[in-house]
Amino acid sequence: MSDDEIERTNAERPDAERTEAARPDIERRPPQRTHRPRGLSKATALMGARVAAGVIGLGVAAAAIAGGALLPLPSIEGEAPSVTVKPVATAQELVCAGGILRLGDESGQNVANATSIGRPLVASGSTGNAVDSGALDVAGTTKDAAPTTISAPPDGPEVPLVAASQAEVAASPDFRGLATASCSPESSEAWLVGGATTVGRMTLLSLANPGGVAATVDLRIWGEGGAVEAAGLTDITVQPRSQRVVPLSGLAPDLESPVVRVSSEGGRVVATLQQSIVRGIEPGGVEIIGSAEGAARRHVIPGVVVRNGEEVEHSIGIPGFADLGTVIRVLVSGTEERDVTVTVRPEDGSTGGESLSFAVDGGVVTELPIEELPDGGYAVEVSADVPLVAAVRFATTVTKPGSDGFRANDFAWATAAPALPAEALFVAPEAPTPELHVSNPSDAAITATLEAQGSAPATLAVPAGASITVPLAASTVYSLSGASGLHAAVTSVGDGLVSAFPVHAPAAASSPLRVYAQ
Amino acid sequence: MQARVTAILVAHNGSEYVDRTLAALARQVRKPDSLAVVDAASTDESAQQLATSGASVVVSVRGKASFGEAVANAVAALPATESSDEWLWLLGHDNAPEPRALAELLGAVEIAPSVAVAGPKLMRWDLPDTISSYGTSVTQFGATVDLVVDELDQAQHDRRSDTLAVGAPGMLVRRGVWEAVGGFDPALPHVDSALDLCIRVRLAGHRIVGVPSARVASAGPPEEFGKKPLHSGARARLAREAQLHRRLTYASRAALPWHWLSLVPLAFVRAVAQLLAKNPAAVFGEFAAAFRVAFGPGVAPARRNLRRGRTLGWAAIAPLRMPRRETRELRAARREVRAFSDNPGPQRERASFLSGGGGWITLALFAIGLLVFSGLIGASSVAGGSLLPLSATIAEVWSNVAFGWREVGGGFVGAADPFVWVLASLASFTFWSPSTSIVVLYFLALPLAGLGAWWAATRLSERAWPPAVAAILWAFAPPFLASLTEGRLGAAIAHIVLPWLALGLLGAARSWTAAAASALLFAVAAASAPVLIPVLVLCWLAWMLRHPRGAYRTMIVPIPAVVLFAPLVVQQIAAGNPLGLLADPGVARPFAVPSGWQLAIASPAGEANGWSAVASALGLPSLAGPIIVAALLAPLAALAILALFLRGSGRAITSLIVALLGFVTAVASTHLAVAFDGSTPVFVWAGAGLSVYWLGISGAAVVSLEALGKAVLAPAMLVIVTIGALAWPLAASPITGGAEVRQGTGRLLPALATADARADPDIATLELIAQPDGSLAARVHRGAGTTLDELSTLVSTGGSDAEARERVAVLAGNLASRSAFDSSAELDDLGIRFVVAPPTEGDRAERVRERVVQALRSNPEFTSINEATEFGFLWKFEGAGEVDLAHPRGGALATAIVAAQGTLLVAIALLAVPSRSRRRTAVVAHDPDDELTAEFDEDTDE
């Protein structure tokens, strides 16, 4: 860079002064003297100009800073380009629990393995293409008793609804009764409310993994004494496309009222409980319990059926028969005592029903008995101001004529049913007198349409806060439209046979996701 | 026998000369025997004036006839030769001969029958006692040398008579010889035409003499005959063209192909040399001349003509060539003359670098810089903030400056950010490890900034204190320190460059070196902080208007920036996103947008330059931080405003206007969100605007200190102490760990992905980043990760190829969901082998990340590699074999763009090399009117 000077940068500075300024001895002189001889008026003018410039400068600076800080200046804020990705629809896949299992084979040997005692009748249907079905790999089980997978491939962008249910009537020395269950989609978290591991009560936890990735399952079990600490609750591996059966008694023995939370990583599983009761040598029923609604502040449990109530009440007094009674099993989150409100409504279209409040300890499973209900269907509503899970166990008993007072007992678990979307599909099981129980907990009447495939649609008018019962034809696919906000369950009740399952909402397709590719 | 002389007078738009010339002809003591006049397509009254001359032959030439052609036409119109002693006297309209001119010429030729051509001494038309030209020779290599140029006639050249050649005006030539050698070469219309004729005459066995006693006027060189004066570039081109034409014409047959092949390469070499000689106007001419001679039609006929007339070998003219030593001396003498004709202005006193304290301050700043960034000692890269490593090899870094395939944003063909040129240039300093250059820059940042400010301040000051204060103000400028600690490399580089740019711009009107250097610095500043472009352009325009005389030099200042930005401008405008040009290059990283008050106290990131944290640590209220900063800034602000009231207030006004522009830029930055980090809009970093703000304030403070004279000490010390205190929290933050920059590991992706990328550099890693608004950002990192030089503002502002982005988005969206999407085909197509989900913060982001994690864990195509590392969860996709991607290239367009950008930058860089000796520079620079003082030796290439 050359050393040359800045030229005439200062317009106001006269040339004479510039030359003066170049001299090193400038500092000895007062600046005004450089403007002589007629510099006085010029200097005054210059001073005036400088003062003016300074004042203007101050003003501009103040204005600029105030403007920058106080003016509501508009911002130019673009929007990042993004793509809302609607995930490609996958085939809806449901897993049915499979046949009723016993530990060990028929000879009572090999108790580590579960084997099936029969095979369930599976009925399925979809709103779209034909339904594909398959079976999972299960050691020791015949293929047709293994858990069945039901899927309906997507029809273009439309995802068809698919539903299936299974039913099995057991009549062996150890197992007797009706077990129905709806087939459900895999999930990474499930709440199972039901079962018992006291004497004569066997509960098997079935983990079915229909996916292609091994699932690592962690269990948490609560009982009447609180959370259960035990080895083997975590890191239970379920291989792809297989079922694993875990006896609950091995993890939590002698538990009257377990609640199990199943969470899986990697692959996802369908978890079910199979509970059977043997009182002495008398089989007391069998039930397959599907996953209940997850923890929420309010649950609606339709489809609690009291049949032969008097006889049940009568039998409860007999030792070992206490669990014939209707109870609500509740687990409230947290560790503090909470008030849980229970409303039991008859399913006759009326809005009546009684509300009771119970104080329930958090973190401890509590069973709230419901006594002296007349025969009929009921919807139970359980609510608290903290999340809870709940289910209702009910039973029936019948003394068979000419059988020496031999009673045929069976029990069922009505689990919390989800609020249905506008369109739902379900299949009535191949079981005696199936019925649909519909509950409307909302403040407005809902009119839905029930249509059996191949029949004329029927209108279901459910008043606000009321529940109704509709008879169904066995092994038939039903679609329920306009059902938004309703909760529903399907029960099957025969002589000494009872079973129930809720109507599931279809598994939500993956929601669209906004993606910014950068 | 009496010699018969035909005077041939050619007029071409010479009405102002013709009358005097005709009158002079009439006054000849030995009158020409006949007069032929040629009107060479004049558009003025020349033709009418000639018509009254009483010439025996009147020829009128249509079209664009040169002097030579006009003469040839006249000779053709003459009656046939009657005797061997017939002579042609060639005159242009401006060649008024003195009364004895013809007599003297004839006298010279009559005593020596071997003489075929005699030339007069050409005197300047306006200064009759100054020799315009007298005799021409060639160097050993064939370059033309005028023996005399514009010298006062003191009879100093009158001893010379035999010369190689004489000029065409006033030339007396034997008609027989003229016809034998074929007259002037039509391919040499003006420059060197007489030289060429004389050489052919010599080769035909005749002699040529100069006749000093015969004096003929001349109004200009032959190429300006009848035309307006040419500019230097055109003159250089014509001279070069004539020289090359002669070279091909005279060359032996064996050498001809080599000469021909050397034309264009030589043009390149000479263009570089012309640039180094600060002679940019001649560059274009070099190429034009080379191409015109190489492919023009003139050489073949000229060679035939030469062969026909030639009787002697080239040895015949060898003694008449100018010896090399003499050539050198002649040129040196002419340079001296030119230098002495300049008028050196008064030298200003200025603080010298060493005794004035510049050296000590730089050294101290270096030590402080080393201390502040001591955490980086031994690092091979800097990480954190907006910093990423550069590519692993210098070749990769440079490959990213080109218009072409870019990996980011799903891959697209597009323009590079001009900032990549800056990065690549920077990286070249540590070419063995490009990322190290950024570490070195961090160590040198403070001293470089201080040094630049010191030099710039010496232009405003004659004392030692003001530059010292300027250096400290600039090195400890809060926006600078904030940019450094936040890793805003572009803004930091712009801050370092600004005082140098100001320094260059001050000299740009007078020096090509300064103009070219400021052009490069302008490009660096604009590329590093594009938001400064408006204020830079305003300053440049103002400076150019202020110095209109040097405007042709100042004009080049924005050219490199324009050329570097041009492809990006076209693409951004095509994408409908012109504001995206202002986006900060590099990593788009959101920051807390500062309020106007924060900007006023020069705090680009809010937080009152780190004082908010200090205040809260001391338990003071939240407003204490800004108030402390404002108090520490008060002395500086007072000094800057005071400058308006003191001597030099004009400079102060300029400085404060710059400060105002800087403040406006900073405020505008905080209202301009053109880039995006995922879903989050990223505002333009206000640090760059605040640097300009600080520049103006510092400038005004320097003016003020300069005007305070002896009273400088107290205010200077006060400002140094307060600014030092102000800078303390920011400067200490890298040591205390408060700063975001830290030693980098050089790794951008999890170790496994990096290792696999080493084996197969084409593999990619898909990064799925959960966004705070519940959306997902997807980035594809090719190879070992996206480096700083691979980033593009086209992507960060959303101007890149939408289709490629959508493809990545669809893949990412489906991978993050339960989906029947055929992701393995798409992953293979894109070469993706890894998916990484980095940790996030915030509820909604966590939910999205959980969704991604769940979906990938249940996806049988992926193997989960490890749980949380610093990079988050990692999955590997076992694709089909090696990844081998064939990317579309930019094609010819890309090559052309890179070639154009590279050529221009190299040209400007050559122009910026200070190639002239210091003494000459110093002298020349004092005369702003001096056009092109650079001397360029004609025959350096031969």
Query: How is B660-723 classified by DSSP, letter by letter?
Result: HHHHHHHHHHTTEEEEEETTEEEEPPTHHHHHHHHHHHHHHHHHHHHHHGGGGHHHHHHHHHHH
Entry field: residues in chain A: 518
What does the alpha-carbon distance between residue B72 and residue B78 come to, in Å, rounded to a whole number?
10
Q: Taking 90 as the threshold, does the pLDDT of residue B691 lie above it?
A: yes
pLDDT at site B341: 55
pLDDT of B919 reads 38
Q: Which A residues in the span 240-269 are in contact with B, Cβ-Cβ below 8 Å?
A: 240, 265-268
pLDDT for res B929: 36
- Cβ burial of B187 (10 Å; 0-12, 13-18, 19+) is buried
The token pair at A213 is 């990735």
Q: Of B199 and A114, which is predicted with more confidence?
A: B199
Q: What is the pLDDT of residues A248-276, one digit of tens each?
A: 988 888 899 999 999 988 888 999 999 99
| Tokens (6 digits) for B938 | 């004609």
Q: Give a three-class secondary structure readout of A39-88.
A: HHHHHHHHHHHHHHHHHHHHHHHHHHHHHHHHCCCCCEECCCCCEEECCC
pLDDT attached to residue A261: 94
What value does the mean pLDDT take over residues A133-155? 76
A5 part of contact set with chain B, CB < 8 Å: yes
Number of other CB atoms surrounding residue A174 within 10 Å:
15
Token pair belonging to B469 = 């204060």
Chain B residues closer than 8 Å to A68 by CB: 596, 599-600, 663-664, 666-667
Q: What is the mean pLDDT of residues B405-423?
A: 87
Give dist(CA B839, CA A244) in Å, integer: 33
| Mean pLDDT for the stretch of residues A326-336 | 91
Q: Does A157 touch chain B (CB under 8 A)?
A: no
8 A C-beta contact, residue A288 and residue A98: no
Check whether B224 has a pLDDT greater than 70: yes
pTM of the model: 0.76
DSSP track, B335-367: HHHHHHHS---PPPP---TTTTTHHHHHHHHHH
CB–CB of B649 and A12 under 8 A?
Answer: yes
Residue A156, chain B, CB below 8 Å: the answer is: no
Q: Are B812 and B821 in contact (CB under 8 A)?
A: no
- Of B930, B242, B797, the closest CA to residue B530 belongs to B797
DSSP state of B597: H
Residues A407-464 have pLDDT tens digits of 788 999 999 999 998 888 999 999 889 999 999 998 899 999 999 887 888 999 999 8
Which chain A positions have a beta carbon within 8 Å of B599's beta carbon? 68-69
Q: What's the rounded Cα separation, in Å, for the pair B731 and B725? A: 10
In the structure, what pLDDT confidence band is assigned to residue B698 with cuts at 50, 70 and 90? Answer: very high
Contact B166, B121 (CB under 8 A): no
Q: What is the mean pLDDT of residues B570-598?
A: 88
Give dist(CA B598, CA B52) in Å, integer.
Answer: 85
Q: Is the dihedral of CA B547, B553, B557, B563 positive or negative?
A: positive
Q: Per DSSP, which regions of A316-353 are E strands?
A: 327-332, 337-346
> Does the pLDDT at position A37 exceed 60?
no
Contact B504, B514 (CB under 8 A): yes
Q: Give the tokens for residue A269.
A: 């599983």
Average pLDDT over chain B, rounded to an integer: 85
B346 vs A1, A3, A22: nearest CB: A22
Other CB atoms within a 10 A radius of the CB of residue A65 amount to 17
Contacts B921 to A, Cβ<8 Å: 2
ipTM score assigned to the predicted complex: 0.74
Cα-Cα end-to-end distance for chain B: 47
Given a cut of 70, whether residue B889 has pLDDT beyond it is no
Contact A266 B858 (CB under 8 A): yes
The answer on pLDDT for B65 being more than 80 is no
* The pLDDT of residue B39: 85
Give the side-chain half-sphere CA count within 13 A for B599: 35
Q: What is the pLDDT of residue A489?
A: 94
Residues A2, B597: C-beta atoms closer than 8 Å: no
Find tokens 């066997």 and name the residue.
A202
Report residue B24: phi and psi, to 5°.
-65, -40
Average pLDDT over residues B89-103: 89
- Average pLDDT rounded to a whole number, residues B327-333: 85
Which residue, among B412, B642, B676, would best test binding to A if mutated, counting the most A CBs under 10 Å from its CB? B676
Among A449, A438, A439, A508, which residue's Cα sits nearest to residue A481? A449
Q: What is the mean pLDDT of residues B433-455?
A: 92
What is the pLDDT confidence band of residue A511, given thresholds at 50, 70 and 90? confident
- CA atoms of B406 and B795, how far apart (whole Å): 10
Distance in Å, alpha carbon of B908 to nearest chain A alpha carbon? 15
Q: Are strands B57-61 and B34-40 parallel, antiparallel or unpaired?
A: parallel
Q: Say yes or no for a CB contact (<8 Å) between A266 and B648.
A: no
Q: Which residue has the higher pLDDT, A3 or B889?
A: B889
**Residues B767, B779 contacting (CB under 8 angstroms):** yes
- DSSP one-letter string for A144-171: GGSPEEEEE--BTTBPPPEEEEEEEEEE
Residue A80 at interface with chain B, using a CB cutoff of 8 Å:
yes
Which token pair is B797?
């502002």
Least confident range from A99-108, A116-125, B438-447, B720-729: namely: A99-108
Read off the pLDDT of residues A54-64 as tens digits, 9 standing for 90 and up: 888 888 888 88
Helix (H, G, I), strand (E, B) or coil at B516: helix
Cβ contact, residue pair A13, B648, below 8 Å: yes
How would you classify the pairing of strands B34-40 and B862-869?
A: unpaired
Instruction: Name the A residues in 30-59 with CB < 8 Å from any B CB.
Output: 31, 49-51, 53-54, 57-58
Predicted local confidence at residue B660, as pLDDT = 93
Chain segment B471-528, per-residue pLDDT in tens: 999 999 999 999 999 899 999 999 999 999 998 988 888 888 889 999 999 999 999 9
Answer whether B763's CB lies under 8 Å from B745's CB: no
- Rounded CA separation B359/B377 (Å): 23
pLDDT computed for residue B875 by the predictor:
87
Chain A residues with CB inside 8 Å of B821's CB? 87-88
Q: Do A81 and B346 touch (CB under 8 A)?
A: no
**Number of DSSP helices (H) and strands (E) in chain A, helices first:** 4, 35
CB B538 within 8 A of CB B661: yes
pLDDT at B191 > cutoff 50: yes
d(CA B755, CA B758): 5
pLDDT-wise least confident of A189-193, B563-567, B620-624: B620-624
| Residue B931 pLDDT greater than 60, yes or no | no
List, as ranges, residues 393-432 from A with C-beta within 8 Å of B: none
**Best CA proximity match to B790, nearest among B484, B431, B417:** B417
**Shortest distance, CA B830 to any CA of chain A (angstroms):** 14
Contact A98, A272 (CB under 8 A): no
Q: Does B122 have pLDDT greater than 70?
A: yes
Write the single-letter amino acid at A427.
V
A22 in B contact zone (CB under 8 Å): yes
Please answer yes or no on whether A53 and B653 come within 8 Å at the CB atom.
Answer: yes
Chain A positions in Cβ-Cβ contact with residue B342 (cut-off 8 Å): none
Cβ distance of B644 and A57 shorter than 8 Å: yes
Output the average pLDDT for chain A: 83
CA distances from B84 to B8, B22, B80, B111, B112 (A): 18, 27, 11, 15, 14
Contacts of A5 in chain B (CB under 8 A): 345, 348, 459
CA distances for B524 relative to B418, B502, B565, angstroms: 8, 13, 11
Picking from B61, B46, B387, the residue whose alpha carbon sits closest to that of residue B226 is B46
**Cross-chain residue pair B678–A80, CB shorter than 8 Å:** yes
Burial B204-225 (b: 16+ CB within 10 A, else e): bebbbbbbbbbbbbbbbbbbbb
> Across the strands, what pairs with A25?
none
Identity at A344, one-letter amino acid code: V
End-to-end CA distance of chain A: 44
Q: Give the closest residue to A427 by CA, choosing from A414, A437, A436, A440.
A: A436
User: Hey, what amino acid is at A508?
Assistant: A
For B829-874, write each residue's pLDDT tens digit: 888 889 998 888 888 888 888 888 888 888 888 888 865 577 888 8
Q: Which residues of A touch B812 (CB under 8 A)?
A: 85, 515, 517
- DSSP letter (8 states) at residue B464: S
Please tell me the least confidently modeled range out of A349-353, B297-301, B538-542: A349-353
Mean pLDDT over B365-387 rounds to: 89
CA nearest to B705, candidates B277, B351, B370: B351
Three-class HEC string of B368-435: HHHHHCHHHCCCCCEEECCECCCCCCHHHHHHCCCCEEECHHHCEEECCCHHHHHHHHHHHHCCCCCC
Q: How confident is the model at residue B145 (pLDDT cuts 50, 70, 90)?
A: confident
- Shortest alpha-carbon distance between residue A466 and chain B (Å): 36
| CA distances, B466 to each of A139, B652, B727 (Å) | 90, 14, 19
Q: Which residues contact B401 (CB under 8 A, 6 or more apart)?
A: B416, B420, B421, B424, B898, B901
The rounded distance, in Å, linking the Cα atoms of A276 and A203 is 7
Do the beta carbons of residue A428 and residue A470 sit within 8 Å? no
CA B758 remoteness from chain centre:
39
- Per-residue pLDDT of B236-280, as tens digits, reads 888 899 999 999 888 888 888 898 888 888 888 888 888 887 778
